[in-house]
Amino acid sequence: MFLSVYGRLGSLDFGKPVSSPQHVEVDLKSIAQPQNKFIKTKSQNPIEIPQIKRVIESSPKSVLNSLKPAATDTAMPDSKLDTTKVQTEQQTKSSSFVSEKSRVDGKKTTQPLSKKVLVPDPPLRSTGEFIGSDYEKLVYRVSLLGVPVGSAELEAKNVKGEVWITLRVKSDLALSTIYPVDDLIETRHIHGNYILTRIRQQEGFFRGDRGFTLFLRDKNVFWIDRLTNRSVKEPLPNSEVVDILSGLYFLRNRELKIGSKELLHIYDSDTYSEVPVEVIRRENVLLPAFRSVDALLIQPQLKTEGIFKRNGDIFIWLSDDQYKVPVKIVTSIALGRITAELVSAETKSADIK
Q: What integer pLDDT is reported at residue 48 of this predicted model?
A: 47
User: What is the residue-wise DSSP string for 49-74?
Assistant: HHHHHHHHHTS-HHHHHHTSPPP-TT
Does the residue 213 lie in any domain?
yes
Q: What integer pLDDT is reported at residue 302 of this predicted model?
A: 85
pLDDT band per the 50, 70, 90 thresholds, residue 64: very low
CA distances from 129 to 163, 167, 250, 352 (A): 10, 19, 6, 10
Work out how many domains the chain is built from and give that number: 1
pLDDT band per the 50, 70, 90 thresholds, residue 27: low
CA 122, CA 310: separation in Å to the nearest integer?
A: 37
CATH code, domain carrying 200: 2.50.20
Does the residue 78 lie in any domain?
no
**Count of Cβ atoms closer than 10 Å to residue 67 Cβ:** 9
If one compares 214 and 269, the residue with the highest pLDDT of the two is 214
**Cα-based angle 188, 130, 247 (whole degrees, multiple of 5):** 80
Q: What integer pLDDT is reported at residue 335 of this predicted model?
A: 76
Residue 85's SS3 state is: helix
Do residues 109 and 100 touch, judged by C-beta distance below 8 A?
Answer: no
SS3 content of the chain, % helix, strand, coil (to 5): 20, 45, 40
Lowest mean pLDDT among 96-110, 138-152, 335-349: 96-110
pLDDT band per the 50, 70, 90 thresholds, residue 73: very low
* pTM attached to this predicted model: 0.65
Asked whether residue 161 carries a pLDDT value surpassing 60, the answer given is yes
Asked whether residue 353 carries a pLDDT value surpassing 50, the answer given is no
Closest to 287 (Cα-Cα) out of 324, 341, 325: 341
pLDDT digits (tens, 9 = 90+) for 143-154: 988 899 999 999
Q: Stretch 263-272: mean pLDDT, rounded?
A: 91
Element (H, E) at 2: helix 2-7
Q: Give me the phi and psi of 89, to 5 degrees please.
A: -65, -40
Domain residue limits at 196? 127-343
CA 94, CA 154: separation in Å to the nearest integer?
A: 64
Q: Stretch 200-219: mean pLDDT, rounded?
A: 93
Q: What integer pLDDT is reported at residue 305 of this predicted model?
A: 67
Q: How far apart are the first and last CA of the chain?
A: 119
Q: Stretch 117-121: mean pLDDT, rounded?
A: 70
Q: What integer pLDDT is reported at residue 351 of this predicted model?
A: 52
CA 13, CA 5: separation in Å to the nearest integer?
A: 16
Does the residue 182 lie in any domain?
yes
Q: What integer pLDDT is reported at residue 167 of this predicted model?
A: 96
pLDDT band per the 50, 70, 90 thresholds, residue 308: low
Average pLDDT, the chain: 76
CA 198, CA 269: separation in Å to the nearest integer?
A: 10
Closest to 241 (Cα-Cα) out of 217, 209, 258: 217
Does the residue 291 lie in any domain?
yes
Q: What integer pLDDT is reported at residue 49 of this predicted model?
A: 45
Residue 28's SS3 state is: helix
Does the residue 188 lie in any domain?
yes
pLDDT digits (tens, 9 = 90+) for 76-102: 444 443 444 444 444 444 444 334 334
pLDDT band per the 50, 70, 90 thresholds, residue 25: low
Does the residue 222 lie in any domain?
yes
CA 213, CA 191: separation in Å to the nearest integer?
A: 13
Q: What integer pLDDT is reported at residue 306 of this predicted model?
A: 64
